[in-house]
Structure formats: C-alpha cells, structure tokens
Structure 1
Amino acid sequence: MADNFGMKGYMKGALLLTIAALIVKALSAVYRVPFQNLVGDQGFYIYQQVYPFISFFVVWASGGFAVAISKMLADAESSIHPVERKGFISRTIFYYLTLLSIIFFCLLFFGANILSELMGDLQLAPLLKTGSFVTLFMPMLALMKGRFQSQGKMEPVAYAQVFEQFIRVAFILVGAIIIMHTNKSLYAAGNAAVFGTVIGEIAAVILLLYYSKKVQIVPKKLKKTERTWPILKEVTILSLSVSMSSLLLLCFQLIDSFTVFSTLLHNGMESIKAMEMKGIYDRGQPLVQLGIIIASSLSLAIVPLVALQSKKKGGRGPNPFIQLTYRASILLGVAASIGLVIVMPYVNQMLFETNALSNVLMVYVLQIVPLSVILPLTAILQGMNKLKIPALILIGAILLKYIGNCYFIPNWDVLGAAIASNIALFLSAGLLMIYLKQLVHSKLATKAFYIKLCIASGSMIFVVALVDQVIQAVIPIVTGRMESVIIGGCLICIGAFVYLTIVAKTKMLAVKEWFLLPFGRKMARYQLLLNKKK
C-alpha cells in the first residue's frame, strides 16, 4: 500500500491516525481518574474486573482486523480482477467476523455466571452480560475502517475513533455521577460504565455509516468463487500480529481479574477489603497507560518509515529508524517510569485522594520501561514481516504472568501481582531486543547512550529527592490533597527539567532525529540552544 502513495501523503495519513490514537489513549487513561474519584476503590475494582473481557474482542476486531482488512484490500488492487477480488475478501471476512462476534457474545452473555464465579464475585455477571452486546457491532465497524484505510481515507477512521471514545467517556462519567447521587449502587455504576462502551461502539458505527452512505458495506455475492481458507488464515495472522502488544496487556488484566481478588479471599481477607485492595492496585493501569503514550505514538509514527525503508532496495535501509525508535522509546519510558516512582506518594494522593499502597504502585509503574520497548519493537518486527517469534515470546509472557500470580500473590498480596507482571514484561522486552539485534546485525544503542541514560536518570533522582527532603523539612506532614497537587506538580516539573536538560546537553539524540519524532521540534530547538557555541 505504501508504494502507491508518496512519502508525504503516506506520512500525512499515518500522522492523522497517530494523533487520533493519542487522543483516544489519553482519554482512556484520564477518564479512569475521575471515575475512581466518583465510585471509590471498590467501585473501581468492579469496573476493572470486567473491562478486559469486553475490550479483548474490541481491540482485536476494531484494531487488528481493520488494519488486516485494509492491507488485504490494498493488495487486491494488483490482482487480475480487483473488484471481484476485493468483494470476495470483504464478504468472507465479514462472515468470519460475524461468526467470531457471535461466539464471543455467547461466551460473555451465557457464560457470565461461570466467569463471575471463577473471579470470585457473582455480582459481576450482569456487567458481563451488558458488555457482551459490544461484540455484535464489531464486524461492521472493522470492515468499514479497513475499507476506508485501504483507500487512503484516514479522516473517517480518525474521527470515528475519537468520537467513539468521547461518547464512551462522557456516558461513563455522567452515568457514574447520576447513580452515585441516587441509589449509590457501585455495581449499577459499573454496569453503566460498561454500557457506555456499548454506546461508544454504536456511535462509531453510525458515524462510519454516514461516511459510507454511498458505499455498499457487504458486497453482493458474485458468481466467481475462490478458496476462503487462505483469506481466513491471512486475516487471522495479520490481525493478531497487529494487535498482539495491546492484547498482551489485556491478557495480563484478565489474569489479574481471575487470580487477584479470589486469591485474596482464599487467604482469609474480608471481601470488602479485598475489593478495595484490588481497586487500589488497579490505580496503576491509568498511570502506565499515560506513561506508554509516547511509546505508542512512536509505534504509529516511526514504524511506517521502517516498513517503507524495508521494502526499498537502495538507501540506508530501516536500521537508522529502528535504532532511533528504540533509543527514543527507552529514553522516554525510563523518564516516565522513574519519575512516577520517586513522586508516587504525591501522585497517588493527588489523583486518587489517598496515598494507600504507594509502594505497590511504585513497583507497578516500572512496567512502563519494558512496555516502552515491547510496543515499538513488536510493531517494527511486524513491519519486517517477522511475526512468529514475537508471538511466541508474548505468549510465553502471558504464561509467566499467570504462574507468577499463582506463586507471588499468596505470599505478597497485590505486590506479588505487580512483581509477576514486571518479571514477564522485562524478560519479554529483553528477548525481543536480542531477536531484533540478530535481524538487523547491529546494536540498537551504543554503550555511551546507556551511560548518558544512567547519568540523566541518576541526576533526576538525586535532584528530586533533595528538593523533596527540603520540602519535608519545611512541611513535616503532608495530609491534604491540595498540598500533594502543589508539591507533586513542582517535583514532576523539576525532575522533567533536569532529565531533559541532561538529555539535550549530552546529545543523546541528534537534532535531526528529534524532528522525526512526534512533537520533537521543541526538544530540537532546546538542544540547539544548550549546545550553541559561544
């Protein structure tokens, strides 16, 4: 598909989808904070228990399948009978997705009682039944997104993504406000939040239907017949490879849903306390999501360049872009992770009203570092058409997470779940780095880069800890939320300034490299200013 577009048009479309994806991811992370403030830790637990069940098929269909469909339809342009070929592909995939959506619907709706029993909370069954309806809209949504993308029409897809998320977030928050001011049922608030996801998907379908009003969604059956199995095989492999890094996080959350609360109950903890502890543990999810937004944007923005350069026979090849993506990801991932760790008590209280289990959340947000590597590297390997090994590595991570939860939670409660996630993710990131280095036959970063990274990180930790000690000497006990907002905000700004100043002064990235990154122009100017010769 890239060959049919000029670099300018290709990157313009990629940039539009990148901006839309960033807005969606930011909204997805941010809305959880006011929602938790409205329903408390117990209410947050309720929603987070069912969220991964509902989101799994949504991410696979509207993300993975849409991209796979767009590629297959674009490839069909070069066939002998492109119209018939594209019609057959669209119809086959639509029927396949319809079958999958019915299977997932039945699993969630009719299996709700079994699933909620396995999670240790039977009152979650109505939420699973409500969420099951979201699967029924996925075939049409995925097919329309895929067709628009295959034609290079990125605007409808971008608008639909943002519109869907905006409607969903608005419905979730308004529903929580109304319910918490009326019957105050936490399970009803959770059910309203799940229903908001269904409404958001319907809104996206309606908007795309508006853009598709002159286009037949499912082509009529033609006389010409082809084999369906190669199409089903290709779309399944492509869709899973595209969405595997996102599905990895959802699988981790699914494992937590099945193991954390039930294990805490089995250890003798009271039900309400176990719910609240799981809810506090789940505070880490929006923090991690915010921390990996930069890595996600790099995956969306830089990876098309990697795919394009991989197909070219001449030139520098994809290696410079691969190295840049890796260095930028780890640079910003380390900053976000360590920054959150050193100010966690303030951030915890600032966002979620209390600083409970801040030590657990400090361990939890360390996930940002390996995820900042996993997300772009899996996307790069996908662009290089290397799918098998990354898939095996991520499947291994899921199994390791489950084993870790079973072993660590009985001994360390929710801290054990955070440790299990970190072990699985760091190991996966390391294996992906080793595999990619073997493919590109060059280092992803130099030894000097890692030394400078340690200097920048250590300086940030030292300065922030020093300022924090001075503040604590002046204000011995921080009790109020507003105090946490002021102190935490100041420490975050100081830490970011120190870290980015050292990064710019030591030229960890070249000026021209900053210009290739999303929103990197200001850093390029700052770096030029700091290193300006007298």
Structure 2
Amino acid sequence: MSDNQLIRGTMILTASIFISKMLGLIYIFPFTSIVGHEGLALYTYGYTPYTVLLSLATLGVPLAVSKFVSKYNALGDYHTGQRLLKSGLVIMSITGVFAFLVLFFSAEMIANQVLDPDSLEGNSVADAVFTIRMVSVALLVVPVMAIIRGFFQGNQSMGPTAVSQVVEQIIRIAFILVFTYVIIYVLDGELGTAVGFATFGAFAGAIGGLGVLLWYWRRRYAGIRAQVKESTVDHNIPLPAMYKELFRYAIPLSFVGLAIPLYQTVDLWTFNQAMRDAGFVQPVAETYYASFTQSTHKLILIPVSIATAMSLTILPTITSAFTNQDTERLQRTITQTYQIILFLTIPAAAGLMAVSEPMYAALFGLEEMTIGGEMLRTYAPVAVLFSVFAVTASLLQGINQQKFAVIALLAGILFKVVFNSLFIQLFGPQGGVFATTGGYLLSITINIWAIGKFADFNYQPIRRRLGKIVLYTLAMTAVVVYLAFGLEQLFPITSRWNAAIILGLSVGAGIIIYLNLTIRSGLAGKVLGHRFSALKK
C-alpha cells in the first residue's frame, strides 16, 4: 500500500471516530427531552456495567490485532494473521457469550445495589433489571466485530472499520430516539419499557456494523486468499504463544482505556445509596446521578476529545526519540504535548463553569437547570484532569513504562472506592465529583513523577507556561461571568431560546478574549505555532 493510501485510510478512520463521538454527544439532548433525568439515570444503570464488561471481553483487541497482523504481514507471513482471525473469532464469540451471561444474570443483583427496593418513587428495580438485560444482548456481537475490525486495520484497510463505526452509531441512535418516542408518546407506554428498548439499540447498531464488515469481507475475500497464497514464510506460531504476544500488546492499552468506565462503575454501586444515607430521596438522588454521569459528563468530554486528539498526533515521535536516545527531541515533544493540553482544556473548563446554568438550560431544558448547572460547575475542572491523565498514560507507553500508568490508575480507583461514599455524605452530590477529582490527581501525580524520572523531563518550562495560561483564563472568565450576568438581566432564563442567546454571546466573547490575549502575548505562537505558522508572527 502506498503512503498516500495509508494517509488517506488513517484520515478516514480519524474522521469516523470524530463523527461517532459527535453523534454520541448530540443524541443525548433529544433523548433527555423524551425520557427526562429519571430515564437518563435508568439508561446509565444498564450502560455502565455493559461498557466495563465489553472492555473486558474485548481487551483492546482491535488495536492489538492490528499491530499483530501488520507485523507478520510485513514479514511476508499472511498465514499467521489468518490463523489469528479464525481462532480469534471463536475466542471472541466465547468471551462475548460469557460476558452476556454474566451481565444478564447479575442484573438483579446490580439493580438491588443501585436502587432501594422498598422505594415507591423513582425507577423501580424491575425496570433496572429489564434495562440491564436488554443491553447485555449486544455483548454477543460486539467482540466479534472487534477482531474483524482489527484484522482489516492490520491489513492497512481502514475503510471497513470507519464505515462500520459510523453505521453502527447511526443505527443505534436512530433506534434509541425512534423507539423511546413511539413507546412514550404514541403507545403511551411506561418509561422503563422505553429506556429498556433504548439500550437494546446497542444490539441493533452492532448488527448493522457487523453487516457492513461482512459486506467488505465478501468483496475482499478473493484478495485476502491471494495474499495467503503469496506468503513467503509461515512462522507456525503455536496458539498459546500467539495469544501471549497479542495480550502483551492489548492489556496495558485496554486497562488504561477503562479509566472513566471504572470510575463510573464506582458511582453506579455507591452514589444512590450514599445520597440516601445523606438524606436525599431516591428521585432527587437519581436526578443528580443522571446529571453527573451522563449529561454533564458528555459536556466536559468536548474539550477533552479536542485537546487529546490534537496532542496525540505528536506522540509517535515520543517512541522514536526515546528509542534513539534523542533527549532534546524527547524533551521538546513532551513539552509541546503538555502545553497543547493545558492551553485548550483550562480555558474550556473555566468557560463551562462560568456559563454552567445557561448551557445546561439551552441543551437539556429548564426543568433540572439548577441541579445540572450546579453539577456542571463542580465537574467542569475535571476535564483538565481527564485530558492530562490520558496524555501522560500515552507518554508512559511511548517510553515503555506503561506499568506505571496501570499502577496510577489502580491507585486513583482505590481512592475513589474508599472516599466516594464518605465525600457524598459530607459534601452532598458534589462529593462524587470530589472523589473523582482526588483519584485523578493521585493518578496524574504518579504519571508525572514517572515521566520526570524515566524520560529525565524538566518541568520548569511547563510551570512558566501554565502560569500564563491560568492568568489569561482568569481574565477571560471574569469577563464571561460579568457578561453572562448582564445578559441574564436582559434575557431571563425562562426559555431555552433565552438561555441559548446568553450562552452563544458569552462563549463567543470568551473565545475572542482568550485568543486575543494569547496571540498578542505570543503564548499561542509558542504553543501552537508548529501547527499554525501565522501564530508565530
């Protein structure tokens, strides 16, 4: 495959990931309008354990299979990749069935832990059991998709993965919105039934994605067979050795990728109970839970995804610089990565805090604006921690010290487990956010120490840039808060339209002020000048 084809394939895959994530953000607004925060909480009761079990069932298989197949294809051995695919389909089918059975039969236990069986208000245990079991069916299909996608990527064919991801997401979202609307507004059905069918959308989407992959497989089967016949060597690797190598690639990547789902699993098991212990009735506890784990969480992931995507493009340089012992290039690249993350996420988090109520009202409605705005204001700074953790974990992988990323994650999760209920009882619903903040701070501290030690990295330039970023962010935030307050006097938040006006004008002003300050001071040129040459001038 030519370089141009490879670049084109990578761009297609990156675009598909971005489209899928944006669709995953946008659909939550109409979905919340249909089912409310009570339905959103019920949806999360099913999706959180599903996400964890899916990650465990697939164990980072797409990327690991891609590396494995690509490696042996480069050696002229196409037989080994084919053997991995055939045996992997069997193994992924087995792990998928096992994960499905675990989630299906543990549904009642999870529901009884999350909800109060004796409560007559809020979601019922029966509805939660139904929701969890409906989403569990997707585990029969998704692991099989994972290995097929990895095989295509290993053959430098990104199109099948890209198209299947987008099709899967479109079908899932269409299924969710159509079925919930029809069940609630046309058939006058129960909320629990509607949300249960919404989670079943994961299975419908998976079937659509698998159909796309099988279509590609049928079209390319002759070419794949021809490749195998042209193999110049066959390593005849025993299956145990093959999977030992595969999991050596997969486990560190998949474990770090589990960070957010694991934190949300702790909240799933402890948040509602701790809120009840703190004196909150179940419906109020569920509203806070839905706001914390779904609506506000989706919002803070916007700056996280943008900043991480921009910074990760320079991470391949880390590996080569470390391997070649090019200390100067390693220092420069790590510095640039940190700067991009902080330059983008700190003002974004501050902006989310400054306009939390109008933003929540404009996107999710006025009904739960106070609760949602309160949670968003508290949760927004964690966006910076999410980004820094993801990037520092990747940096540790680049310098072959990924074990410290795993240790850091375990330490952070342990902090969350120990303090989550206590903090909620002491500080109310924001205590869950404080426990997440403490866990991520602990993890990041370990990662930063490890990078400093094993990459011999000097943090002094980062401290200087961080001071300027914070200063300009404070100036921007002061103006945004003042402007938003003034606009609220002219446009009281009595409608989503008024909230949208306040949000649009305040955010626009904030962006202009921050860019003006950072460009005029030269900070933007130092941080992003390698990407946007005009900023250097």
Same fold (TM over 0.5): yes
> 1:465 — aligned with what?
481
Correspondent of 1:24 among 12, 16, 20: 20
> 1:236 — aligned with what?
247
Partner secondary structure for residue 215 of structure 1:
helix
> 2:176 — aligned with what?
172
Q: Give structure 2 stretches of 5+ with no counterpart.
A: 116-123, 229-233
> 1:39 — aligned with what?
35
- Residues 112 and 128, structure 1, Cα contact 8 Å, conserved in 2: yes
> 1:122 — aligned with what?
125
Distance change (3 Å), C-alpha of 1:492 and 1:472: same
CA distance in 1, matches of 2:88, 2:347: 42
Displacement of 1:509 in angstroms is: 4.3
Kindly indicate whether residue 86 of structure 2 is the aligned counterpart of residue 76 of structure 1: no
CA distance in 1, matches of 2:422, 2:335: 37
Q: For residues 62-102 of structure 1, give each alpha carbon's deviation from its aligned partner in whole angstroms, at most 9, with x where no partner exists.
A: 682100001011222355x7233223333343333233212
CA distance in 2, matches of 1:264, 1:414: 7
Map 1:47-196 → 2, pairs under 5 A: 47-59=43-55, 64-77=60-73, 82-120=77-115, 122-123=125-126, 124-181=128-185, 182-196=187-201
> 1:320 — aligned with what?
332
2:473 maps to amino acid: S
> 1:415 — aligned with what?
430
CA distance in 2, matches of 1:139, 1:479: 46
> 2:306 — aligned with what?
294
2:142 maps to amino acid: M
CA distance in 1, matches of 2:179, 2:525: 48
Displacement of 1:515 in angstroms is: 5.1
CA distance in 2, matches of 1:362, 1:281: 11
CA distance in 2, matches of 1:60, 1:509: 41
Count the aligned residue pairs.
514
Distance change (3 Å), C-alpha of 1:472 and 1:126: closer
Correspondent of 1:448 among 445, 455, 464: 464
CA distance in 2, matches of 1:41, 1:241: 35
CA distance in 1, matches of 2:59, 2:472: 36
Q: For residues 313-360 of structure 1, give each alpha carbon's deviation from its aligned partner in whole angstroms, at most 9, with x where no partner exists.
A: 779644433322221112111121111001101111111213222223
Correspondent of 1:342 among 354, 368, 375: 354
CA distance in 2, matches of 1:27, 1:252: 23
Displacement of 1:447 in angstroms is: 3.4
- Residues 61 and 138, structure 1, Cα contact 8 Å, conserved in 2: no
> 1:437 — aligned with what?
452
2:291 maps to amino acid: I
Displacement of 1:454 in angstroms is: 1.7
Displacement of 1:394 in angstroms is: 0.7
Kindly indicate whether residue 397 of structure 2 is the aligned counterpart of residue 377 of structure 1: no
Displacement of 1:487 in angstroms is: 0.8
CA distance in 2, matches of 1:191, 1:23: 25
Displacement of 1:274 in angstroms is: 2.5
Q: Give structure 1 stretches of 5+ with no counterpart.
A: none
CA distance in 2, matches of 1:153, 1:315: 35
Displacement of 1:61 in angstroms is: 5.9
Q: Which moved more, 1:442-451 or 1:417-426?
A: 442-451
CA RMSD of aligned residues (A): 2.8
**Given the two structures, how large is their TM-score scaled by the length of structure 1?**
0.88
CA distance in 2, matches of 1:148, 1:299: 26
Correspondent of 2:217 among 212, 233, 237: 212
Distance change (3 Å), C-alpha of 1:315 and 1:151: farther
CA distance in 2, matches of 1:395, 1:39: 35
Displacement of 1:277 in angstroms is: 2.8
CA distance in 2, matches of 1:160, 1:98: 19
1:83 maps to amino acid: Y
Q: For residues 34-84 of structure 1, give each alpha carbon's deviation from its aligned partner in whole angstroms, at most 9, with x where no partner exists.
A: 2111111101111112111222344566682100001011222355x7233
Kindly indicate whether residue 281 of structure 2 is the aligned counterpart of residue 281 of structure 1: no
- Residues 346 and 485, structure 1, Cα contact 8 Å, conserved in 2: yes
CA distance in 2, matches of 1:106, 1:318: 47
Distance change (3 Å), C-alpha of 1:478 and 1:512: closer
Displacement of 1:238 in angstroms is: 2.5
Distance change (3 Å), C-alpha of 1:15 and 1:507: farther
Q: Which moved more, 1:187-196 or 1:304-313?
A: 304-313
Partner secondary structure for residue 492 of structure 1:
helix
CA distance in 1, matches of 2:279, 2:481: 38
Distance change (3 Å), C-alpha of 1:366 and 1:237: farther
- Residues 411 and 442, structure 2, Cα contact 8 Å, conserved in 1: no
**Given the two structures, how large is their TM-score scaled by the length of structure 2?**
0.88
CA distance in 2, matches of 1:128, 1:242: 27
1:334 maps to amino acid: I
Partner secondary structure for residue 338 of structure 1:
helix
> 1:494 — aligned with what?
509
- Residues 408 and 442, structure 2, Cα contact 8 Å, conserved in 1: no
Kindly indicate whether residue 413 of structure 2 is the aligned counterpart of residue 398 of structure 1: yes
Partner secondary structure for residue 478 of structure 1:
coil
